[in-house]
Amino acid sequence: MMSPPGFRRRGRLVGTAVFAFGIQAALTGPAGAGGSSPAGLLDGLVAGWEAFTGSVARRLSDTAQAVADMPAMDLTPPVTVIRGRRSCPIPAPGRSADCAAAALRLCNEQGFLSGQELDIESGQVCRGTQLGLWGGQPGTPCKFKNWITEAVCW
C-alpha cells in the first residue's frame, strides 16, 4: 500500500510545516522508530499547532494585561472652537487664499499656540460705485474674498 507523498520521506511541504511549528516529535512517529506514520505525523501537527496557538494567546493576553495596567494618559490636547471673522490673505495674484494663516492669527489672539480653520465664508466685495448704483462704472469687477469664521484652537 502506498502512503501519500511526504509521510515516509519527509516531503518539502510537510517537512517545512513540521519545522515551522517546531514539531520534532511528529517526525519520529508514535513508537519512536525511524519512519513516521500518517497518524503520528497528524497527531504531532495537531499538538504543535495547539502549542503554537496557546503560546500566541498567552502573549496576547499578557500584552493586553500590561496595557490595561498602564496609567491612563490623555494624549489628546484640549481643543476649543473659537468664533470670529478674519480675512484670509492672498499671498500673490493668481494664488489661493491662505486661511491657515488667518486661523493661526485668530487662535493666537485668543491665547492659543496653534489652530486650524473649521469654517470658511466666501463672497464678493463690491463698492457701491462699482455696481453702478450711484452713477459709477457698471463693468468694474468685484473682488472675491475669503473669511475664516470658526477655528479649532489648541
Q: Which amino acid is at 55?
A: S
**Do 86 and 39 share a structural domain?**
no
87 plus 33 within the same structural domain: no
Asked if residue 91 and residue 47 are part of one domain, the reply reads no
Please give the Cα distance from 6 to 10 (Å, whole number): 5
CB 101 within 8 A of CB 89: yes
Residue 5 lies in a domain: no
Q: pLDDT per position in the chain (154 positions), as tens?
A: 455 554 454 445 555 554 555 555 445 544 444 455 677 778 888 888 888 888 888 888 888 888 777 777 666 678 899 999 999 998 887 788 889 999 999 999 999 999 999 999 999 888 765 455 555 555 667 788 999 999 999 9
Q: What's the burial of 13, exposed, middle or buried (CB within 10 Å: 0-12/13-18/19+)? A: exposed
CA distance 39 to 67: 42
Q: Are residues 120 and 90 in the same domain?
A: yes
Examine the domain organization and report whether 41 and 93 are in the same domain: no
Residue 50, domain extent: 12-69
Q: Both 86 and 135 in a single domain?
A: yes
Percentage helix, strand, coil for the chain under 3-state DSSP, each rounded to 5: 40, 20, 40
Same domain, 103 and 130: yes
What is the count of structural domains for the chain?
2
Enter the pTM of the model.
0.45
Does 84 lie in the same domain as 58?
no
Q: Does some domain include residue 74?
A: no
Quick check: is 1 in a domain?
no
